Structure 1
Amino acid sequence: VAVKGTGEGTVTDEKGVYKISVPNEQGVLTFSFIGYVSQEIPIGPRQIVNAVMRSSATHLDEVVVTGYTDYDRSKSVSAATVIGGDKINDVPMATFEQALQGRVPGLAVSAVSGQPGTAAQVTLRGVGTIAGNANVLYVMDGVPIEAGYFQSINPGDIESVTVLKDASAKALYGSRGSNGVIVITTKKGKSGKVAVEYRSQYGISTLTTPRFDMMNTSQRKEFEEGIGIETGNRAGSFWDYSKLNPDYAKKTPEEKMRADWIVDSLLHINTDWRDLFMRNGKYMEQQISARGGNENIRFYSSLNYFDQQGLVRVSDLKRYTLKNNLDFNAGKLTANLNLNAGYSQGNLIQSEGSSSG
């Protein structure tokens, strides 16, 4: 509470009561508080001046967070894109950077592999270093992190993501930000009644490539015999022991019996190797969170369980996360406690490629 145009000012107690000396009745009192709309009330000939504060709704897409400070987007001349947490949580995913695809101009997100929890390759406006390194810098709540930690971070705890593109926006980070900076701001408590939220998601992932109609062993036998009759060339084991092969007549009775036994045994093999290794992956996520507080103490807490099956039967990812964010404000004393705990366990397949030994 302050007298407009003078150096007189004071703060209220926990009940909102205040005392202040005013020069005359023509003065104006200014009431202000973080997160609320400021008010100016003429004093007049009264001894008590009351004010009712109302909260100020700030849209996340109008605030640019650089990691060290934040400012109104309309006052920024830098190239930056802000994505709210509601848009990130619209897409079921294991890591948050997958939700950035198609939402940020100049940002390319490509999957390195289809394994659950694997960080995607994120490139912002191409390669920006002589060494050819195209990795962007990630900063979460002011702390630089590596992309490998994403599988232990719950995307549901993200309040907003700011992508800094040009030199003026990422100058704070020096050479580490030469390829762009992605600033992640996690959720915090809000003044008001305690709000509890429960979110549950289920889904199924399938192969993007179409399934081919595979031959069974009887069709394979007819195929190999057809090639053998037309060209005389060997197309597989069936033709070696087929009765339609001219060499079959030259075999002894024992050899013919053995050839017939081999053909009969091969006809009983109908293994679909694709079904043996691949599957439709199931996805499940459960989260409960609570946030609330008052002008002095605000908190946000969440618990999350994430379970995703890969398209390959042996691949999967399970993740457990806990987050607590506590803000304390008492006059000139402010404190913040930010606790993040995550545990992930995954089974991955060997990467594609060649090996020797």
Structure 2
Amino acid sequence: MKIGILGAGQLGRMLALAGYPLDLDFVFLDPATEACAAPLGTHIHADYVDEHALAEFCVGVDLATYEFENVPAKTAEFVAGRIPLLPAPVALTVGQDRLSEKTLFDKLGIPVPRYMPVATREALEIAVKNVGLPAVLKTRRLGYDGKGQAVLRKAEDLDKAWAAIGGQPLILEAFVPFEREISCLAVRGKSGELRFYPVVENVHRDGILRVARPRADDPLQAAAEAHATRVLEHLGYVGVLAFEFFVASGKLYANEIAPRVHNSGHWTIEGADCSQFENHLRAIAGLPLGSTALRGPSVMVNFIGNTPSNEALAAIPGVHIHHYGKAPKPQRKVGHATVTAGNDAELETRLAQLQALVAAVES
């Protein structure tokens, strides 16, 4: 079977790495000249709205998926009109727009922070009166890794925030004084079969995920699974979906969904019986889903901007190195490492060593 992937970044790269043992081949469509997944398959170098290139893409594959949610809706519709595209384009449409997400969560009875759409400077004033402060003003589309957001703590912050991101569709959300940020990684097969990975506790800095740690027996596992199930069933979803939540006073508040494999699930390559990447491919190809059970204590650390040397990383027991083939660049995800161990104490020791190496190359 040959699978097409819209996008050829690190997620596409890891999908291909998971797919080759299953005897799957890959075609990528991506406008980037040096897309990091390109060496793992055929790379159609073209814009996402290039219909000639899209037609070539569709002829060469049995089915398609995507590795990020900002593929243009018209691209998804073009592909879906010719070959199976999973997850279905409706999931992409919802995941691209924060207002659509929040509206869906409301409809499904999933708790969300107070929110209002904002289209003008005057509408921002009205939204602040209704939502209250502190609040977060966000672009409805494209914002990623902390981009396209502004925190409003006092009335004087409105002008600066509007100058930074105003003039486009926005949403104002009440600031959640969260104790934790977690994600629920779910996979749904073509038959409706559902599997869930252990809840992942995430640590961000400057809006970028730094550390993701699966938590066995997390008290909010069942609630997170219930919320994710509502979304999966409503969308008729097939594949891996990540659902991000804030935890405040022991309660979950929906933040956003990512209709694709997700950074907070990279630990699953070594830390779970079947990785999120393999399970996504199993789901869209109609294969039985693999076990999502945690193999043992593990944690993932992102490499942002630069990576420690292989020699230093390999000297730490239980460290599994993943380079993305990307040139070093500030605030850019260029790789990650997953640490595994036999017990929690051992994991903490190894994690501290890894984080020291990461801090040294980021400084």
Does TM, scored on the shorter chain, surpass 0.5?
no
More helix by share: 2
Q: Structure 1-normalised TM-score? A: 0.21
| Structure with the higher strand share, 1 or 2 | 1
The two structures have a TM-score, normalised by structure 2, of 0.20
In terms of Rg, which structure is larger? 1
